[in-house]
Amino acid sequence: MEVKKSKIFINCEEASFICDKSQYNESTLWERIRLNIRLLYCGVTQKYVKKNKSLTKLVTEKEVVCMPKKAKEALKGKVQVHLQNQP
Question: Which residues, other chains included, contact 10 with Cβ-Cβ below 8 Å and sequence gap of 6+?
Answer: 18, 34, 35, 37, 38
**Confidence band of 67 (pLDDT split at 50, 70, 90):** confident
Q: At what angle do helices 29-41 and 43-61 cross, to 10 degrees?
A: 120
Tell me which of 4-13, 19-28, 43-52 is least confident. 4-13
Question: Which residues, other chains included, contact 14 with Cβ-Cβ below 8 Å and sequence gap of 6+?
Answer: 34
Residue 29: what pLDDT? 95
What are the pLDDT digits (tens) for 1-21?
555 677 889 999 999 999 999
- CA-to-CA distance for 68 and 57, rounded, in angstroms? 24
Q: Where are the domains of the chain?
A: 1-62
Q: What is the mean pLDDT of the chain?
A: 88
When computed from its CA atoms, the radius of gyration of the chain, rounded to whole angstroms, is: 21
Mean per-residue pLDDT for 24-39? 93
